[in-house]
Chains A and B, each alone.
Chain A
Protein backbone atom coordinates (compact mmCIF):
# COMPACT_ATOMS: atom_id res chain seq x y z
CA UNK A 1 0.00 0.00 0.00
CA UNK A 2 1.38 3.48 -0.82
CA UNK A 3 1.96 5.85 2.02
CA UNK A 4 -0.88 8.13 3.02
CA UNK A 5 0.53 9.75 6.14
CA UNK A 6 3.30 9.69 8.71
CA UNK A 7 3.57 8.83 12.35
CA UNK A 8 6.33 11.00 13.80
CA UNK A 9 7.91 9.63 16.95
CA UNK A 10 10.23 12.14 18.59
CA UNK A 11 12.56 10.40 20.98
CA UNK A 12 15.84 10.23 22.81
CA UNK A 13 16.90 8.32 25.90
CA UNK A 14 18.33 11.59 27.21
CA UNK A 15 16.27 14.33 28.87
CA UNK A 16 16.46 18.00 27.91
CA UNK A 17 17.71 17.59 24.35
CA UNK A 18 14.76 19.37 22.75
CA UNK A 19 12.35 16.51 22.00
CA UNK A 20 9.24 18.51 22.84
CA UNK A 21 10.59 21.46 20.87
CA UNK A 22 10.99 19.22 17.80
CA UNK A 23 7.56 17.67 18.36
CA UNK A 24 5.99 21.13 18.44
CA UNK A 25 7.77 22.05 15.24
CA UNK A 26 6.56 18.90 13.59
CA UNK A 27 3.00 19.65 14.63
CA UNK A 28 3.19 23.17 13.24
CA UNK A 29 4.72 21.84 10.03
CA UNK A 30 1.72 19.60 9.47
CA UNK A 31 -0.72 22.36 10.42
CA UNK A 32 1.06 24.70 7.99
CA UNK A 33 0.38 22.10 5.29
CA UNK A 34 -3.31 22.05 6.14
CA UNK A 35 -3.29 18.65 7.79
CA UNK A 36 -5.06 17.35 10.87
CA UNK A 37 -2.70 16.71 13.74
CA UNK A 38 -3.05 14.36 16.70
CA UNK A 39 -0.17 14.56 19.17
CA UNK A 40 0.48 12.33 22.17
CA UNK A 41 2.56 13.47 25.11
CA UNK A 42 4.50 10.76 26.96
CA UNK A 43 6.20 13.22 29.29
CA UNK A 44 4.24 12.75 32.46
CA UNK A 45 4.10 14.53 34.81
CA UNK A 46 5.45 17.58 32.91
CA UNK A 47 3.06 17.26 29.93
CA UNK A 48 5.05 19.99 28.20
CA UNK A 49 3.68 19.17 24.74
CA UNK A 50 0.09 19.15 25.96
CA UNK A 51 0.57 22.58 27.52
CA UNK A 52 2.14 23.96 24.35
CA UNK A 53 -0.40 22.51 21.95
CA UNK A 54 -3.61 22.15 23.94
CA UNK A 55 -5.77 22.02 20.82
CA UNK A 56 -3.90 19.10 19.30
CA UNK A 57 -2.05 17.20 22.03
CA UNK A 58 -3.19 14.90 24.80
CA UNK A 59 -1.32 13.37 27.66
CA UNK A 60 -0.65 9.63 27.28
CA UNK A 61 0.75 6.85 29.42
CA UNK A 62 1.96 3.36 28.63
CA UNK A 63 2.36 2.25 32.23
CA UNK A 64 -0.79 0.09 32.00
CA UNK A 65 -2.38 -1.88 29.18
CA UNK A 66 -5.34 0.47 28.90
CA UNK A 67 -3.02 3.41 28.29
CA UNK A 68 -1.06 1.36 25.75
CA UNK A 69 -4.30 0.55 23.92
CA UNK A 70 -5.41 4.19 24.01
CA UNK A 71 -2.12 5.27 22.44
CA UNK A 72 -1.17 2.59 19.94
CA UNK A 73 -4.69 1.80 18.78
CA UNK A 74 -5.06 5.50 18.04
CA UNK A 75 -1.72 5.67 16.23
CA UNK A 76 -2.64 2.94 13.76
CA UNK A 77 -6.22 4.10 13.29
CA UNK A 78 -6.86 4.84 9.64
CA UNK A 79 -7.96 8.46 9.73
CA UNK A 80 -6.75 11.69 8.19
CA UNK A 81 -4.59 12.84 11.11
CA UNK A 82 -0.83 13.03 11.04
CA UNK A 83 0.26 11.62 14.35
CA UNK A 84 3.10 12.69 16.59
CA UNK A 85 4.37 11.08 19.76
CA UNK A 86 6.71 12.94 22.08
CA UNK A 87 8.44 10.10 23.93
CA UNK A 88 9.92 11.33 27.19
CA UNK A 89 13.29 9.95 28.26
CA UNK A 90 11.66 7.95 31.07
CA UNK A 91 9.34 6.22 28.61
CA UNK A 92 11.96 5.61 25.91
CA UNK A 93 12.87 2.00 26.55
CA UNK A 94 9.37 0.85 27.46
CA UNK A 95 7.81 2.55 24.44
CA UNK A 96 10.11 1.00 21.88
CA UNK A 97 10.15 -2.47 23.43
CA UNK A 98 6.37 -2.44 23.45
CA UNK A 99 6.27 -1.14 19.88
CA UNK A 100 8.54 -3.99 18.85
CA UNK A 101 6.59 -6.67 20.71
CA UNK A 102 3.22 -5.70 19.28
CA UNK A 103 4.55 -5.24 15.75
CA UNK A 104 3.74 -1.54 15.58
CA UNK A 105 5.96 -0.54 12.64
CA UNK A 106 4.73 -3.39 10.43
CA UNK A 107 1.09 -2.68 11.25
CA UNK A 108 1.49 1.02 10.53
CA UNK A 109 3.09 0.27 7.17
CA UNK A 110 0.31 -2.16 6.33
CA UNK A 111 -2.17 0.66 6.89
CA UNK A 112 -0.29 3.12 4.71
CA UNK A 113 1.41 5.06 7.49
CA UNK A 114 5.17 5.53 7.65
CA UNK A 115 6.58 5.35 11.18
CA UNK A 116 9.37 7.92 11.29
CA UNK A 117 11.49 8.15 14.41
CA UNK A 118 12.98 11.62 14.90
CA UNK A 119 15.88 10.75 17.14
CA UNK A 120 17.33 13.82 18.79
CA UNK A 121 21.03 12.98 18.80
CA UNK A 122 23.52 13.86 21.53
CA UNK A 123 27.16 12.76 21.79
CA UNK A 124 26.87 10.65 24.97
CA UNK A 125 27.11 6.86 24.91
CA UNK A 126 23.48 6.10 25.90
CA UNK A 127 22.30 8.21 23.00
CA UNK A 128 24.64 6.53 20.52
CA UNK A 129 23.78 3.07 21.84
CA UNK A 130 20.06 3.85 21.87
CA UNK A 131 20.17 4.84 18.21
CA UNK A 132 22.00 1.68 17.18
CA UNK A 133 19.50 -0.41 19.17
CA UNK A 134 16.53 1.24 17.45
CA UNK A 135 18.04 0.59 14.03
CA UNK A 136 18.20 -3.11 14.93
CA UNK A 137 14.75 -3.24 16.52
CA UNK A 138 12.89 -1.48 13.72
CA UNK A 139 14.11 -2.33 10.27
CA UNK A 140 10.76 -1.16 8.84
CA UNK A 141 10.90 2.28 10.42
CA UNK A 142 12.60 5.35 9.02
CA UNK A 143 15.12 6.51 11.61
CA UNK A 144 16.00 10.19 11.23
CA UNK A 145 18.83 11.57 13.33
CA UNK A 146 17.98 15.12 14.40
CA UNK A 147 20.73 17.58 15.03
CA UNK A 148 19.35 20.23 17.35
CA UNK A 149 21.89 23.02 16.94
CA UNK A 150 20.91 24.39 20.30
CA UNK A 151 22.88 21.46 21.81
CA UNK A 152 26.04 22.48 20.00
CA UNK A 153 27.83 21.66 16.73
CA UNK A 154 27.21 18.20 15.30
CA UNK A 155 30.70 16.77 15.41
CA UNK A 156 29.32 13.35 16.17
CA UNK A 157 26.91 12.93 13.29
CA UNK A 158 28.84 9.94 11.91
CA UNK A 159 27.64 7.99 14.93
CA UNK A 160 24.03 8.51 13.83
CA UNK A 161 23.81 7.32 10.23
CA UNK A 162 20.36 7.75 8.68
CA UNK A 163 18.52 4.44 8.63
CA UNK A 164 15.57 3.35 6.53
CA UNK A 165 14.26 4.30 3.11
CA UNK A 166 14.55 8.02 2.43
CA UNK A 167 16.10 8.87 5.77
CA UNK A 168 18.54 11.77 6.13
CA UNK A 169 19.85 13.97 8.91
CA UNK A 170 17.38 16.67 9.98
CA UNK A 171 19.15 19.83 10.99
CA UNK A 172 17.28 22.25 13.27
CA UNK A 173 19.16 25.54 13.55
CA UNK A 174 19.42 27.27 16.89
CA UNK A 175 16.79 29.86 17.64
CA UNK A 176 18.01 33.30 18.75
CA UNK A 177 17.83 33.63 22.56
CA UNK A 178 15.02 36.20 22.49
CA UNK A 179 12.92 34.06 20.19
CA UNK A 180 13.69 30.97 22.19
CA UNK A 181 12.32 32.61 25.32
CA UNK A 182 9.20 33.45 23.35
CA UNK A 183 8.90 29.85 22.21
CA UNK A 184 9.00 28.63 25.78
CA UNK A 185 5.67 30.21 26.58
CA UNK A 186 2.77 27.84 26.92
CA UNK A 187 0.73 27.60 24.79
CA UNK A 188 2.81 28.67 21.82
CA UNK A 189 2.46 28.36 18.08
CA UNK A 190 5.45 28.85 15.80
CA UNK A 191 3.06 29.61 12.95
CA UNK A 192 1.28 32.33 14.86
CA UNK A 193 4.52 33.79 16.21
CA UNK A 194 5.97 34.10 12.74
CA UNK A 195 2.91 35.75 11.29
CA UNK A 196 1.47 37.83 14.07
CA UNK A 197 3.13 40.51 16.18
CA UNK A 198 3.22 39.45 19.80
CA UNK A 199 3.00 42.11 22.54
CA UNK A 200 6.42 41.49 24.07
CA UNK A 201 8.30 40.40 20.98
CA UNK A 202 11.14 42.44 19.49
CA UNK A 203 10.03 44.44 16.43
CA UNK A 204 11.70 42.17 13.90
CA UNK A 205 10.74 38.99 15.76
CA UNK A 206 8.05 37.79 13.36
CA UNK A 207 10.38 38.18 10.39
CA UNK A 208 13.25 36.43 12.11
CA UNK A 209 10.93 33.68 13.27
CA UNK A 210 9.57 33.39 9.73
CA UNK A 211 13.07 32.98 8.27
CA UNK A 212 13.99 30.41 10.85
CA UNK A 213 10.75 28.50 10.46
CA UNK A 214 11.09 28.50 6.69
CA UNK A 215 14.49 26.80 6.95
CA UNK A 216 13.15 24.15 9.30
CA UNK A 217 9.99 23.50 7.29
CA UNK A 218 12.03 23.21 4.10
CA UNK A 219 14.17 20.47 5.66
CA UNK A 220 11.08 18.69 6.93
CA UNK A 221 9.45 18.91 3.53
CA UNK A 222 12.53 17.55 1.82
CA UNK A 223 12.67 14.68 4.25
CA UNK A 224 9.02 13.92 3.69
CA UNK A 225 9.46 13.87 -0.06
CA UNK A 226 12.53 11.64 0.22
CA UNK A 227 10.58 9.12 2.27
CA UNK A 228 7.65 9.19 -0.15
CA UNK A 229 9.92 8.84 -3.17
CA UNK A 230 11.82 5.98 -1.59
CA UNK A 231 8.56 4.23 -0.83
CA UNK A 232 7.31 4.76 -4.37
CA UNK A 233 10.56 3.47 -5.77
CA UNK A 234 10.21 0.40 -3.59
CA UNK A 235 6.69 -0.31 -4.82
CA UNK A 236 7.76 0.08 -8.43
CA UNK A 237 10.63 -2.33 -7.89
CA UNK A 238 8.31 -4.86 -6.29
CA UNK A 239 5.69 -4.67 -9.01
CA UNK A 240 8.11 -4.83 -11.96
Chain B
Protein backbone atom coordinates (compact mmCIF):
# COMPACT_ATOMS: atom_id res chain seq x y z
CA UNK B 1 0.00 0.00 0.00
CA UNK B 2 1.20 3.54 -0.80
CA UNK B 3 2.64 5.52 2.10
CA UNK B 4 -0.14 7.35 3.96
CA UNK B 5 -0.03 11.11 4.37
CA UNK B 6 -1.05 13.10 7.42
CA UNK B 7 -1.59 16.81 7.14
CA UNK B 8 -1.98 18.81 10.31
CA UNK B 9 -3.70 22.17 9.88
CA UNK B 10 -3.31 24.36 12.90
CA UNK B 11 -2.72 27.72 14.45
CA UNK B 12 -1.94 28.90 17.89
CA UNK B 13 -4.62 31.55 17.60
CA UNK B 14 -8.27 31.39 16.70
CA UNK B 15 -9.91 33.27 13.84
CA UNK B 16 -7.06 33.04 11.35
CA UNK B 17 -8.94 30.84 8.88
CA UNK B 18 -7.60 27.44 9.83
CA UNK B 19 -10.76 25.51 8.99
CA UNK B 20 -11.09 27.44 5.74
CA UNK B 21 -7.65 26.23 4.69
CA UNK B 22 -8.52 22.67 5.74
CA UNK B 23 -11.60 22.87 3.54
CA UNK B 24 -9.59 24.02 0.53
CA UNK B 25 -7.25 21.07 1.05
CA UNK B 26 -10.13 18.60 1.14
CA UNK B 27 -11.54 20.07 -2.07
CA UNK B 28 -8.09 20.05 -3.68
CA UNK B 29 -7.50 16.37 -2.99
CA UNK B 30 -11.04 15.49 -4.02
CA UNK B 31 -10.55 17.31 -7.32
CA UNK B 32 -7.36 15.30 -7.85
CA UNK B 33 -9.22 12.08 -7.00
CA UNK B 34 -7.11 11.41 -3.94
CA UNK B 35 -9.03 9.52 -1.26
CA UNK B 36 -9.09 11.68 1.85
CA UNK B 37 -10.50 11.60 5.34
CA UNK B 38 -10.59 14.33 7.93
CA UNK B 39 -10.61 14.67 11.67
CA UNK B 40 -12.17 17.71 13.25
CA UNK B 41 -10.85 18.39 16.70
CA UNK B 42 -13.42 21.07 17.56
CA UNK B 43 -15.24 18.56 19.73
CA UNK B 44 -18.09 18.08 20.44
CA UNK B 45 -19.87 19.63 17.46
CA UNK B 46 -17.04 20.23 15.05
CA UNK B 47 -16.67 22.97 12.44
CA UNK B 48 -15.04 21.21 9.52
CA UNK B 49 -17.59 18.39 9.75
CA UNK B 50 -20.41 20.76 8.81
CA UNK B 51 -18.92 21.20 5.34
CA UNK B 52 -17.57 17.69 4.72
CA UNK B 53 -19.79 15.43 6.83
CA UNK B 54 -19.19 12.26 4.86
CA UNK B 55 -15.44 12.19 5.30
CA UNK B 56 -15.00 13.99 8.64
CA UNK B 57 -15.11 12.66 12.16
CA UNK B 58 -15.11 14.82 15.26
CA UNK B 59 -12.48 13.76 17.76
CA UNK B 60 -10.83 14.97 20.94
CA UNK B 61 -7.16 14.79 20.08
CA UNK B 62 -6.19 15.00 23.74
CA UNK B 63 -7.86 11.65 24.43
CA UNK B 64 -5.88 8.45 23.85
CA UNK B 65 -8.86 6.63 22.40
CA UNK B 66 -9.26 9.25 19.72
CA UNK B 67 -5.51 9.36 19.08
CA UNK B 68 -5.72 5.63 18.44
CA UNK B 69 -8.67 6.19 16.12
CA UNK B 70 -6.58 8.56 14.02
CA UNK B 71 -3.09 7.13 14.06
CA UNK B 72 -3.64 3.41 14.50
CA UNK B 73 -5.76 3.38 11.34
CA UNK B 74 -3.35 5.19 9.06
CA UNK B 75 -2.19 2.01 7.40
CA UNK B 76 -5.58 0.34 7.16
CA UNK B 77 -7.85 3.25 6.23
CA UNK B 78 -9.03 3.56 2.63
CA UNK B 79 -7.98 7.16 2.56
CA UNK B 80 -4.52 8.02 1.28
CA UNK B 81 -4.53 11.42 2.97
CA UNK B 82 -5.65 12.25 6.50
CA UNK B 83 -6.28 15.92 7.23
CA UNK B 84 -6.46 16.91 10.86
CA UNK B 85 -7.97 20.28 11.66
CA UNK B 86 -6.35 21.03 15.00
CA UNK B 87 -8.21 23.21 17.47
CA UNK B 88 -6.79 26.71 17.77
CA UNK B 89 -4.12 26.99 20.38
CA UNK B 90 -3.26 23.28 20.31
CA UNK B 91 -0.85 23.06 17.37
CA UNK B 92 2.36 22.97 19.36
CA UNK B 93 0.96 20.71 22.06
CA UNK B 94 -0.44 18.34 19.42
CA UNK B 95 2.95 18.16 17.76
CA UNK B 96 4.53 17.40 21.13
CA UNK B 97 1.97 14.66 21.72
CA UNK B 98 2.73 13.18 18.29
CA UNK B 99 6.39 13.23 19.16
CA UNK B 100 5.70 11.31 22.36
CA UNK B 101 3.79 8.55 20.61
CA UNK B 102 6.54 8.05 18.06
CA UNK B 103 4.63 9.53 15.14
CA UNK B 104 7.36 11.99 14.22
CA UNK B 105 9.91 9.15 14.30
CA UNK B 106 7.75 7.18 11.89
CA UNK B 107 7.69 10.20 9.62
CA UNK B 108 11.45 10.53 9.92
CA UNK B 109 11.86 6.87 8.94
CA UNK B 110 9.77 7.46 5.86
CA UNK B 111 6.87 5.28 6.95
CA UNK B 112 4.46 8.20 6.80
CA UNK B 113 4.43 11.47 4.92
CA UNK B 114 3.78 14.25 7.38
CA UNK B 115 3.01 17.89 6.64
CA UNK B 116 2.09 20.82 8.83
CA UNK B 117 0.08 23.77 7.58
CA UNK B 118 0.70 26.47 10.15
CA UNK B 119 -1.85 29.24 9.67
CA UNK B 120 -0.41 32.57 10.70
CA UNK B 121 -2.16 35.60 12.08
CA UNK B 122 -1.09 39.17 11.27
CA UNK B 123 0.41 40.12 14.58
CA UNK B 124 4.05 39.91 15.57
CA UNK B 125 3.06 37.37 18.23
CA UNK B 126 2.19 35.01 15.42
CA UNK B 127 5.80 35.03 14.30
CA UNK B 128 6.84 33.87 17.73
CA UNK B 129 4.58 30.85 17.29
CA UNK B 130 6.85 29.78 14.46
CA UNK B 131 9.78 29.60 16.85
CA UNK B 132 7.78 27.43 19.23
CA UNK B 133 6.53 25.15 16.49
CA UNK B 134 9.97 24.90 14.89
CA UNK B 135 11.29 23.09 17.94
CA UNK B 136 8.78 20.25 17.61
CA UNK B 137 7.96 19.97 13.92
CA UNK B 138 10.73 17.51 13.28
CA UNK B 139 11.06 16.35 9.69
CA UNK B 140 7.55 17.31 8.67
CA UNK B 141 7.04 19.33 5.52
CA UNK B 142 6.27 22.68 6.99
CA UNK B 143 4.06 25.22 5.29
CA UNK B 144 3.60 28.70 6.68
CA UNK B 145 0.23 29.95 5.51
CA UNK B 146 -0.54 33.65 5.28
CA UNK B 147 -4.30 33.81 5.12
CA UNK B 148 -5.49 37.26 4.03
CA UNK B 149 -8.90 37.26 5.70
CA UNK B 150 -10.61 40.29 7.22
CA UNK B 151 -8.36 42.75 5.37
CA UNK B 152 -5.32 41.34 7.13
CA UNK B 153 -2.26 43.01 5.72
CA UNK B 154 0.66 41.38 7.48
CA UNK B 155 2.29 44.79 7.07
CA UNK B 156 3.14 44.78 10.75
CA UNK B 157 5.84 42.32 9.92
CA UNK B 158 9.29 43.59 9.28
CA UNK B 159 10.58 41.45 6.38
CA UNK B 160 13.95 40.86 8.06
CA UNK B 161 12.27 39.72 11.27
CA UNK B 162 9.89 37.48 9.35
CA UNK B 163 12.74 35.90 7.43
CA UNK B 164 14.65 35.23 10.61
CA UNK B 165 11.74 33.19 11.97
CA UNK B 166 11.00 31.60 8.60
CA UNK B 167 14.58 30.42 8.20
CA UNK B 168 14.52 28.60 11.53
CA UNK B 169 12.60 25.77 9.92
CA UNK B 170 14.60 23.91 7.34
CA UNK B 171 12.76 23.50 4.08
CA UNK B 172 9.76 25.59 5.13
CA UNK B 173 7.56 26.89 2.35
CA UNK B 174 5.24 29.85 2.33
CA UNK B 175 1.69 29.68 1.02
CA UNK B 176 -0.48 32.72 0.45
CA UNK B 177 -4.25 32.42 0.68
CA UNK B 178 -5.77 35.57 -0.83
CA UNK B 179 -8.77 37.30 0.58
CA UNK B 180 -12.17 35.97 -0.42
CA UNK B 181 -14.89 38.58 -0.88
CA UNK B 182 -16.81 38.86 2.39
CA UNK B 183 -20.24 38.38 0.90
CA UNK B 184 -19.10 35.30 -1.00
CA UNK B 185 -17.52 33.95 2.15
CA UNK B 186 -20.70 34.56 4.11
CA UNK B 187 -22.87 32.83 1.52
CA UNK B 188 -20.68 29.75 1.46
CA UNK B 189 -20.86 29.61 5.26
CA UNK B 190 -24.65 29.85 5.11
CA UNK B 191 -24.82 27.19 2.44
CA UNK B 192 -22.72 24.83 4.57
CA UNK B 193 -21.43 23.27 1.37
CA UNK B 194 -17.88 22.54 0.25
CA UNK B 195 -16.36 25.31 -1.87
CA UNK B 196 -16.45 23.13 -4.96
CA UNK B 197 -20.15 22.38 -4.47
CA UNK B 198 -20.94 26.06 -4.03
CA UNK B 199 -19.10 26.88 -7.26
CA UNK B 200 -21.04 24.15 -9.04
CA UNK B 201 -24.27 25.67 -7.72
CA UNK B 202 -25.01 22.64 -5.55
CA UNK B 203 -26.18 22.70 -1.97
CA UNK B 204 -24.77 20.72 0.95
CA UNK B 205 -26.68 17.63 -0.16
CA UNK B 206 -25.48 17.92 -3.73
CA UNK B 207 -28.84 19.08 -5.07
CA UNK B 208 -29.20 22.01 -7.47
CA UNK B 209 -29.09 25.35 -5.66
CA UNK B 210 -29.67 28.95 -6.70
CA UNK B 211 -26.60 30.78 -5.54
CA UNK B 212 -25.55 34.06 -7.09
CA UNK B 213 -23.45 33.56 -10.21
CA UNK B 214 -21.24 36.47 -9.14
CA UNK B 215 -20.54 35.01 -5.71
CA UNK B 216 -19.86 31.61 -7.24
CA UNK B 217 -17.47 33.30 -9.59
CA UNK B 218 -15.64 34.98 -6.74
CA UNK B 219 -15.28 31.65 -4.93
CA UNK B 220 -14.16 29.86 -8.07
CA UNK B 221 -11.52 32.50 -8.79
CA UNK B 222 -10.33 32.49 -5.18
CA UNK B 223 -10.19 28.70 -4.97
CA UNK B 224 -8.24 28.61 -8.21
CA UNK B 225 -5.69 30.97 -6.67
CA UNK B 226 -5.39 28.83 -3.56
CA UNK B 227 -5.00 25.63 -5.57
CA UNK B 228 -2.36 27.31 -7.70
CA UNK B 229 -0.40 27.79 -4.50
CA UNK B 230 -0.76 24.11 -3.69
CA UNK B 231 0.43 23.29 -7.19
CA UNK B 232 3.35 25.67 -6.78
CA UNK B 233 4.56 23.90 -3.62
CA UNK B 234 4.03 20.54 -5.37
CA UNK B 235 1.59 19.20 -2.83
CA UNK B 236 0.64 16.28 -5.04
CA UNK B 237 4.28 15.25 -5.33
CA UNK B 238 4.59 15.45 -1.57
CA UNK B 239 1.80 12.93 -1.04
CA UNK B 240 3.39 10.72 -3.62
CA UNK B 241 0.98 11.30 -6.48
CA UNK B 242 2.12 13.08 -9.61
CA UNK B 243 -0.40 14.50 -12.08
CA UNK B 244 0.49 11.74 -14.53
CA UNK B 245 -0.30 9.15 -11.90
CA UNK B 246 -3.69 10.71 -11.23
CA UNK B 247 -4.54 10.87 -14.94
CA UNK B 248 -3.49 7.26 -15.45
CA UNK B 249 -5.60 6.16 -12.49
CA UNK B 250 -8.66 7.97 -13.80
Bound complex: CA of A210 vs CA of B221, how far in Å?
A: 47
Main secondary structure of the interface of A (DSSP, over half): helix
Distance in Å: Cβ of A85 to nearest Cβ of chain B: 14
Residue of B nearest to A70 (CB): B214
A101-B221, A102-B220, A103-B220 known; A65-B213 Cβ under 8 A: no
A69 B220 Cβ-Cβ under 8 A: no
Query: With a CB–CB cut-off of 8 A, which chain B residues contact A102?
Result: 213-214, 216-218, 220-221
| Cα A69 to Cα B184 with chains together (Å) | 11
B contact face: mostly helix, strand, loop, or mixed: helix
Chain A residues 95-128 with CB under 8 Å of chain B are 101-104, 107
Q: How far is the CA of A164 from the CA of B217 in the complex (A)?
A: 23
Contact A104 B181 (CB under 8 A): no
Let me know if B221 and A69 touch, CB within 8 A: no
Q: How large is the interface on B (under 10, 10 to 19, 20 to 34, 35 or more residues)?
A: 10 to 19
Interface string of A49-70 (1 = CB under 8 A from B): 0000000000000000110110
Q: How many residues of A contact B (CB 8 A)?
A: 12
Asked if B217 contacts A101 (CB within 8 A), the reply is yes
* Cross-chain contact B217 with A104 (CB below 8 angstroms): yes
Chain B's closest residue to A68 (CB) is: B214
State A66–B187 Cα separation when bound (angstroms). 13
- B175-202 contacts to A (CB < 8 Å): 181-184
Which residue of chain A is the closest to B215 with respect to CB atoms?
A: A69
Chain B 207-226 against A: per-residue CB contact (8 Å), 1 yes, 0 no? Answer: 00000111111101100000
Given contacts A101-B218, A102-B218, A102-B220, contact A76 B183 (CB under 8 A): no
Q: How far is the CA of A23 from the CA of B217 in the complex (A)?
A: 26
CA distance A101 to B213 in the complex (A): 12
Residue of B nearest to A104 (CB): B217
List chain A residues, Cβ under 8 A from B217: 72, 101-104, 107
Contact A72 B220 (CB under 8 A): no
Q: Which residues of A contact B218 (CB under 8 A)?
A: 65, 101-102
A208 CB, min distance to chain B CBs, angstroms:
43
CB distance from A212 to the nearest CB of B (A): 38
Q: How far is the CB of B208 from chain A (nearest CB, A)?
A: 13
Check A107–B213 contact: CB distance below 8 A.
Answer: yes
Q: Is A73 an interface position by the 8 A CB rule? A: yes
Contacts of B216 in A (CB 8 A): 102
Jot down 28 A-B pairs with beta carbons below 8 A, ordered by A: A65-B181, A65-B182, A65-B183, A65-B184, A65-B214, A65-B215, A69-B212, A69-B214, A69-B215, A72-B213, A72-B214, A73-B212, A73-B213, A73-B214, A76-B213, A101-B218, A101-B221, A102-B213, A102-B214, A102-B216, A102-B217, A102-B218, A102-B220, A102-B221, A103-B217, A103-B221, A104-B217, A107-B217
Closest 9 CB pairs of A and B: A102-B217, A69-B214, A101-B221, A65-B183, A72-B214, A69-B212, A68-B214, A76-B213, A73-B213
Q: Supply 15 further A-B pairs (C-beta < 8 A) apart from A69-B215, A72-B213.
A: A65-B183, A65-B218, A68-B214, A69-B212, A73-B212, A101-B218, A102-B213, A102-B214, A102-B216, A102-B217, A102-B218, A103-B217, A103-B220, A103-B221, A104-B217
